[in-house]
Structure formats: C-alpha cells, structure tokens
Amino acid sequence: MNVPAEEMAAVGEAAREVIREAKAAGVYVFGGGINADVAPVMVAGDGSCTTATYRQTRELDGGFCVLELPSRAVAVQWAARIAAACRCAQELREFGYDPES
C-alpha cells in the first residue's frame, strides 16, 4: 500500500464503505486490523514465548476481512472491491470448514 498520508483518511472511509456494503448484503463475518504497536510472539506447545514471527510474515501489515460467500468467483469480486477501496492488491484465501466449529 503506497498511499500519501493526506489520502489515508479517504482510503479508510472507502474501505469502511465496502465493509458496510458487505454487512448490508449479509456476507460479512468479521474483520480487523493488525495492531502494529504490539510485537508478535511465537508460542510453543509448552507455553513458552519468544519475540518472533514466521519469516514470511515479518512484513505483514494491514488487516483482514472474513466474508461468507457462495463461490470463489464472488469472493474475487468482493476482493476486487476491497482492493479498489484500499488502493492495493488483496490476498484471497479460503477457510477450510471445520464441522466442530
């Protein structure tokens, strides 16, 4: 995301508008941003913690949004709307269904 500081408020409002539309459409599940002020920790099975993160996520920035959609094609459409609002590409992932959840 490479947006001038003076345009960030407009980007935030555009992104929130897409989320409002997803809520109105009944597809929004939840979402949020990554708190950059809190360092990540790795927690082992024994409960010990180290200040670290997975190598591939060292530069993770931003947040995420979970939508429940009928198809991957529809998911791509929503991701494109979010990408346009945020002015940057969005990574699209699919959750695996857990019948115990």
Chain-centroid distance, C-alpha 42:
20
Residue 46 CA, chain-centre distance (Å), reads 29
Q: What is the DSSP letter of 32?
A: E
- Taking only the tens place, the pLDDT of each residue in 5-61 is 999 999 999 999 999 999 999 999 999 888 888 888 889 899 999 987 877 766 666
47 HSE (CA, 13 A, CB side): 0
Give the span between the Cα atoms of 8 and 90, in whole angstroms.
17
**Greatest Cα-to-Cα distance within the chain, rounded to the nearest angstrom:** 46
pLDDT digits (tens, 9 = 90+) for 54-95: 777 666 667 889 999 999 999 999 999 999 999 999 989 998
